[in-house]
Amino acid sequence: MLVLQDHDTRDSGARNDAPGSQRLCAATGEPTCIDSMIRFVLGPEGAVVPDVKRRLPGRGLWVTATRSALDFAIRRKSFARGFRREVVAASDLVETTERLLEQAALDALAIAHKAAKVVIGFGRIEKALARERVVALLKAVDAAPDGVRKLEAARARREDASAIAIIGDFASAQ
């Protein structure tokens, strides 16, 4: 799968924060760009809920989008301190957050595919790598090694090869 570049930046999503805005990470205390953070809110019963699409109501608490930062925030009880009350951070909060992020990425790819910004299929990808503006090359975890090698070679022939991300986190069935 290949993601093509789109220069239309009119829709920046539902969040109110401007791109490049910074927030303090609840785990590290470091100011970080919100584009590399995950927002968490409190559910009705005081449970910590990941807000990966940044649309849920209520006060948000931001954590750097890494497993280690989220683990650290849970261990350090940063959510209780940030929300200024007792909260319930589920034991599977990290796994739930990862699952929601994965689903959000797949949803975004589906929308991009409907907008004809994603190319699927070895032959089509090879042609697109030769003549289109490309943002990322997504290879399935269970992809054939020979096909992966050929597509990576086609990517390497481009002048902007280092700017094309290679993502290999999804299975072909996804």
Confidence class of residue 9 from pLDDT cuts 50, 70 and 90? very low
Confidence of residue 12 (pLDDT cuts 50, 70, 90): very low
User: Residue 54: left (phi > 0), alpha (psi -120 to 50), or beta?
Assistant: left
Domains and CATH numbers, the chain: 22-91 (3.30.1230.10), 121-167 (no CATH)
Instruction: Evaluate if residue 13 carries a pLDDT over 90.
Output: no
| Distance of alpha carbon 160 from alpha carbon 113, whole angstroms | 23
DSSP label at residue 116:
T
Q: Predicted confidence band at 4 (pLDDT cuts at 50, 70, 90)?
A: low
Distances (CA, A) of 91 to 6, 94, 104: 39, 8, 22
Average the pLDDT over 131-149 and give the result.
87
What's the pLDDT at 143? 85
Residue 120: HSE in the Cβ half-sphere, 13 Å Cα cutoff: 10
Query: pLDDT class for 19, splitting at 50, 70, 90?
Result: low
DSSP alpha helices (H): ranges in the chain? 67-75, 78-83, 93-114, 122-131, 145-156
Q: Do residues 105 and 52 make contact, with C-beta atoms less than 8 angstroms apart? A: no
In order, the DSSP letters of 46-58 are: SBEEEETTS---S
